[in-house]
């Protein structure tokens, strides 16, 4: 305020009143309420008959008469006349006799049926030196405006300009808020199409959820029985705001319709992809996993367009496998036909995890991601929980990892677990005698879990050992681990030993020992298999797809010989 340097000091009474006005202006106002307050403050402090306020409109570079407001709007060029001069020079103009001034615009006086005698023109300049408007104070009650009036007006103008600029920004924010509200309506629609009850699938535990961010993101999922198959969808539309929310909703709706009309997975993927390619702008796309689970064969057939990782938790080795996408994201370009659909076979206890970026990329303040390892570890530790509880656990651990960092992206978790059989356990064992300790720990765990009578535990252990040792000793061509499966079927214990990628090796066909021979004719050879035959109730060998499997059954509660 260079003006003040050559001017007399501000009278303390005026200062108090300016501070009072400033305090009033600090209250949150709508813009028109604010302008009226500004004019009233000027009028009362300088003792004038009237005041007018013109608001600068950058778009048209015009000044719009805002107080008093007249219909139709009164507009003048921001360069014209005395106001234009005041605004461009950033100077207060003191006009003692308006009608003697060649630049005075009488048109406004005529319009308002008023005669302006003297006038003080105050340029209102924002804190960033941009024009905000012009205030005119008309006809001082006693005489003309003096230097003291100019000084008070300068301070008042500065205060008013800043207060008005703040009010304008607030109004712009309010407009944006209304827009945001509309985005949130789109989000509400998006979220309302998501399943709220989980489908019941015999032998399976399913759960899906979305935890949305305030307004960005475009996740969707579906989990629904279509025909006799479980349809699973995870979609993530790129970008922020309306677009992704609508794309996600559109994807889910189009797929449901396609399947209801009898399309198969490949066909639906192709058609929906092409529709998205047509609808979406070039920089937008949707990553999506879509698949069907056949709960009888336990096979999931799927497409994962740009969606990865797909998590397959293998219960048998307590380990998650992370699978890549089967192809390009959806909507990138049109396809002749979908290629590269894949399948996953779910063993007892296995989990298929469709988990959105929002979880894997949940970041802490250092920018580190929760990550694939973080997710896999939670699933390894808690895979026996109900899937709803596991999803909750994943979410909580991700949030815990992030600390004070906020959630940046939608979080969607879809979990499908094939329940372990009532009492079925599997594990892999290395081909060595040394594995026996682990094998017996495994069978003991199973015996306790399945309440196998202690009277037959020795017979089962012995049978497992003999068959296992036979494979280790005599099938030396193969190198992979041997899978042992223990099951309770009705009142039977069924045990299988599977050798993968193996040549045919039927240990049940080896000759038996002669147990009636005298001592000097006896040898340990064939004794093991003989004992197994005596102890079990059935013994079978199967060879297919390079898998060599020996299976025996032992009836529980059978009276002893």
Partner 1 sequence: MFEIDFGNEGEVIVAGRLDAAQAERAQRFLDQMPTPRVLDMRRLEYISSAGLGVLLKTQKRLMASGGGLKLINVNHHISEVLRYSGFDKLFEVVAAEDRRPGH
Q: Which is nearer to partner 1, 150 or 465 (CB)?
A: 465
Shortest distance (Å) from residue 471 CB to partner 1:
12
Q: What's the token pair of residue 331?
A: 């909507």
Shortest distance (Å) from residue 438 CB to partner 1:
10
Q: Which is nearer to partner 1, 406 or 434 (CB)?
A: 434
Q: Which is nearer to partner 1, 343 or 432 (CB)?
A: 432
How far apart (Å, rounded) are the C-alpha atoms in residues 67 and 80?
19
Shortest distance (Å) from residue 541 CB to partner 1:
19
Computed on alpha carbons and rounded to an integer, the radius of gyration of the chain in Å comes to 41
Helices (H), 47-146: 81-89, 107-112
Shortest distance (Å) from residue 358 CB to partner 1:
49
Shortest distance (Å) from residue 553 CB to partner 1:
18
User: What's phi and psi for 207, nearest 5 deg?
Assistant: -155, 140
Shortest distance (Å) from residue 464 CB to partner 1:
10
Shortest distance (Å) from residue 439 CB to partner 1:
9
Q: Which is nearer to partner 1, 509 or 519 (CB)?
A: 519
Peptide bond into 72 cis (omega under 30): yes
- Please spell the DSSP secondary structure of 380-437, one letter per residue: HHHTTS-HHHHHHHHHHHHHHHHTTPPP-S-EEEEEEEEPPPTTEEEEEE-SSGGGHH
Q: Which is nearer to partner 1, 226 or 513 (CB)?
A: 513
DSSP 560: P
Shortest distance (Å) from residue 522 CB to partner 1:
6
Other residues' Cβ atoms within 10 Å of the Cβ of residue 309: 19
Q: Which is nearer to partner 1, 361 or 461 (CB)?
A: 461
Q: What's the token pair of residue 142?
A: 């006693």
The answer to whether 94 and 143 have CB atoms below 8 angstroms apart is no
DSSP 196: S
Q: Which is nearer to partner 1, 41 or 531 (CB)?
A: 531
Shortest distance (Å) from residue 473 CB to partner 1:
9
Shortest distance (Å) from residue 561 CB to partner 1:
8
Long-range contacts (CB closer than 8 Å, 24 or more residues apart) made by 212-215: 212/187, 212/410, 212/411, 213/358, 213/407, 213/408, 213/409, 213/410, 214/184, 215/180, 215/183, 215/184, 215/187, 215/240, 215/241
The answer to whether 145 and 94 have CB atoms below 8 angstroms apart is yes
* The residue to which tokens 């997710």 are assigned: 375
Q: What's the token pair of residue 529?
A: 């298999």
For 282, 346, 497, 506, 537, the CA distances from 551, given in Å and listed in that order, are: 57, 21, 6, 11, 11
Q: Which is nearer to partner 1, 334 or 514 (CB)?
A: 514
User: What's phi and psi for 176, nearest 5 deg?
Assistant: -65, -40
> Strand ranges (DSSP E) for 160-239?
204-211, 219-226, 229-237
From the list 136, 137, 130, the residue with the least C-alpha distance to 168 is 130
Q: Which is nearer to partner 1, 100 or 561 (CB)?
A: 561
Shortest distance (Å) from residue 537 CB to partner 1:
14
Shortest distance (Å) from residue 478 CB to partner 1:
18
The answer to whether 497 and 468 have CB atoms below 8 angstroms apart is yes
Q: Which is nearer to partner 1, 262 or 518 (CB)?
A: 518
User: What's phi and psi for 380, nearest 5 deg?
Assistant: -60, -45
Q: Which is nearer to partner 1, 355 or 459 (CB)?
A: 459
DSSP 348: T
Shortest distance (Å) from residue 454 CB to partner 1:
9
H or E segment and range at residue 171: helix 147-192
Q: Which is nearer to partner 1, 144 or 469 (CB)?
A: 469
Shortest distance (Å) from residue 543 CB to partner 1:
24
H or E segment and range at residue 541: strand 538-544
DSSP 11: P
Which residues have CB under 8 Å from 72's CB, separation 6+? none
Q: Which is nearer to partner 1, 108 or 472 (CB)?
A: 472
Site for partner 1, rule CB under 8 A:
433-434, 436-437, 440, 455, 457-459, 461-462, 465-466, 469, 513, 515-516, 519-520, 522-524, 527-528, 530-531, 534-535, 560
Q: Which is nearer to partner 1, 232 or 459 (CB)?
A: 459
From the list 82, 186, 63, the residue with the least C-alpha distance to 132 is 63
* The residue to which tokens 């003291």 are assigned: 148
């Amino acid at each position: 305020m260079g003006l003040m340097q050559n001017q007399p000091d501000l009278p303390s009474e005026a200062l108090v009143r300016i501070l009072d006005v400033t305090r009033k202006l600090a209250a949150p106002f709508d813009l028109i309420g604010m302008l009226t307050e500004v004019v009233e403050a000027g009028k009362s402090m300088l003792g004038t008959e009237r005041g007018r306020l013109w608001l600068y409109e950058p778009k048209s570079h015009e000044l719009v008469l805002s107080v008093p407001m007249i219909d139709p709007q009164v507009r003048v060029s921001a360069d014209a006349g005395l106001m234009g001069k005041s605004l461009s020079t950033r100077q207060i103009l003191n006009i003692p006799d308006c009608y003697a001034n060649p630049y005075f615009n009488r048109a406004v006086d005529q319009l308002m049926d008023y005669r302006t005698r003297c006038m003080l023109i105050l340029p209102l300049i924002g804190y960033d030196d941009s024009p905000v408007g012009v205030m005119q104070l008309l006809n001082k009650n006693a005489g003309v405006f003096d230097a003291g009036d100019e000084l008070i007006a300068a301070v008042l103008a500065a205060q008013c300009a800043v207060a008005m600029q703040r009010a304008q920004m607030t109004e712009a924010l309010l407009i944006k808020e209304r827009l945001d509200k509309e985005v949130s309506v789109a989000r509400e629609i998006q979220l309302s199409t998501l399943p709220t009850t989980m489908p019941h699938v015999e032998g399976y535990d399913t759960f899906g959820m979305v935890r949305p961010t305030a307004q960005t993101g475009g996740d969707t999922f579906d989990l629904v029985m279509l025909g006799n198959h479980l349809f699973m969808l995870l979609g993530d539309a790129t970008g922020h705001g309306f677009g992704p929310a609508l794309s996600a909703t559109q994807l889910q709706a189009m797929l449901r319709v396609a399947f209801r009309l009898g399309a198969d997975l490949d066909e639906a993927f192709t058609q929906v992809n092409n529709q998205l390619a047509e609808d979406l702008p070039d920089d937008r796309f949707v990553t999506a996993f879509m698949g069907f689970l056949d709960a009888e064969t336990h096979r999931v057939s799927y497409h994962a367009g740009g969606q990865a990782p797909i998590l397959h938790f293998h219960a048998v080795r307590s380990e998650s496998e992370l699978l890549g996408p089967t192809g390009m994201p959806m909507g990138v370009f049109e396809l002749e036909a979908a290629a590269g659909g894949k399948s996953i076979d779910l063993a007892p206890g296995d989990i298929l995890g469709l988990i959105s970026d929002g979880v894997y990329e949940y970041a802490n303040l250092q920018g580190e991601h929760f990550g694939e390892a973080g997710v896999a570890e939670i699933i390894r530790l808690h895979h026996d929980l109900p899937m709803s509880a596991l999803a909750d656990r994943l979410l909580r651990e991700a949030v815990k990892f992030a600390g004070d960092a906020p959630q940046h992206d939608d979080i969607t978790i879809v979990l499908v677990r094939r329940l372990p059989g009532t009492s079925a356990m599997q594990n892999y064992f290395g081909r060595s005698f040394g594995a026996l300790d682990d094998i017996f720990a495994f069978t003991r765990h199973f015996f306790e879990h399945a309440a196998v009578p202690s009277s037959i535990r020795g017979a089962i252990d012995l049978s497992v050992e003999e068959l296992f040792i036979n494979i280790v000793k005599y099938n030396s061509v193969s190198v992979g681990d041997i899978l042992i499966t223990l099951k309770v079927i009705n009142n039977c214990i069924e045990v299988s030993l599977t050798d993968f990628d193996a040549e045919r090796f039927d240990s049940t066909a080896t000759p038996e020992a002669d147990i009636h021979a005298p001592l000097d004719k006896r040898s340990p050879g064939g004794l093991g298999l003989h004992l197994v035959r005596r102890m079990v109730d059935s013994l079978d060998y199967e060879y297919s797809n390079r898998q060599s499997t020996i299976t025996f059954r032992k009836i529980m509660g059978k009276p002893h010989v």
